[in-house]
């Protein structure tokens, strides 16, 4: 009789990867590694030097529960309670959109614009801050900046504030509950306004993966029939709240890029800059400047 092979780190990862793949999980190996590292209480990279290690029963039990929840349709970020964004661990809950890698381009572009300024100080608004990922990442990289993180959801703002405190930047971020800039009285003008608004069209929403469509807040996804229900009033408000020469950066989906570009061109007080594409060549960040 052949003795069963021990359940080592390597074997657990292989089995779980196959199990997830059979169930149509989009990134089965990555998800298996994230969950096992979380159960083990170690960085994911530490798994690569521990393939022959046999985890104890408690670790295996924790891992089994995490795998069960992931296979049941819960996003990995909800299962472990965080998602890495711009090399920072951001806490997430079902109240906020899970930070995506493509949104890092919004941060990179803003940081580039800050470097182009003669003075490092800048006053920035992050509209629809959600988990606070963009505001926190910018605050970490731009110590002279002060930010106002805005969201209409008090539950989302609570998550954003926790992330700011976790990463030591809460003293430079003000949190305001507001629908766009409606309730933001101070400051009157911003050097930059950034936003990752809901931009998925209502038709596109139905085709999203169930774990996105059904598990993440619809408020942060649904941009209406043309994807610009929030973006259109955002442009109008931003035009009146940017300092002369100030910049507006908005993450968008490729399918609505031309529509948003036309809206910018039609908004008094705004001049459009070239749209920025992501690494896949898709239009991802539209940019406008407040005319003097």
Question: What residue numbers does the annotated binding site cover?
Answer: 128-132, 151, 196-199
Which residues does the annotation place in the binding site for substrate? 196-199
Token pair in block for residue 148: 């106002």
Per the annotation, binding residues for S-adenosyl-L-methionine are: 128-132, 151, 196
Cα of 149 vs its chain's centroid, Å: 14
d(CA 254, CA 285): 9
Rounded to a whole number of angstroms, the CA Rg of the chain reads 21
* φ, ψ dihedrals at 84, nearest 5°: -75, 135
The whole-angstrom separation of Cα 104 and Cα 71 is 28
List the alpha helices (DSSP H) in 41-166: 57-71, 76-80, 104-116, 133-141, 154-166
């Amino acid at each position: 009789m052949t003795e069963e092979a021990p359940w080592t780190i390597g074997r657990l990862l292989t089995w779980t990867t196959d199990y997830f793949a059979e169930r149509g999980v989009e990134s089965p190996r990555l998800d298996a590694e994230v969950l096992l590292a979380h159960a083990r209480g170690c960085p994911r990279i530490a798994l690569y030097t521990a393939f022959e290690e046999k985890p104890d029963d408690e670790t295996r039990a924790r891992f089994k529960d995490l795998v069960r929840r992931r296979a049941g349709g819960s996003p990995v970020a909800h299962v472990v309670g965080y998602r890495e964004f711009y090399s920072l661990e951001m806490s997430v809950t079902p109240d906020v959109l899970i930070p995506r890698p493509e949104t890092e381009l919004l941060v990179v572009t803003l940081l580039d614009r800050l470097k182009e300024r003669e003075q490092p100080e800048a006053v920035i608004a992050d509209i629809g801050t959600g988990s606070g990922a963009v505001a926190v990442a910018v605050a970490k990289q731009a110590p002279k900046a002060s930010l106002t993180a805005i969201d209409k959801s008090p539950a989302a703002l609570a998550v954003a504030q926790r992330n700011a405190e976790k990463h030591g930047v809460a003293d430079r971020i003000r949190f305001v509950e507001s629908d766009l800039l409606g309730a933001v009285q101070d400051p009157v003008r911003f050097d930059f306004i950034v936003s990752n608004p809901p931009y998925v069209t209502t038709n596109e929403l139905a085709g999203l993966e169930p774990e996105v469509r059904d598990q993440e807040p619809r408020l942060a996804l649904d941009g209406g029939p043309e994807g610009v229900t929030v973006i259109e009033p955002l442009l109008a408000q931003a035009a009146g709240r940017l300092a002369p020469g100030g910049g507006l950066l908005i993450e968008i989906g490729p399918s609505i890029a031309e529509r948003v570009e036309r809206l910018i061109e039609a908004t008094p007080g705004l001049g459009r800059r070239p749209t920025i594409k992501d690494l896949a060549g898709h239009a991802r960040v539209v940019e406008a400047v407040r005319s003097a």
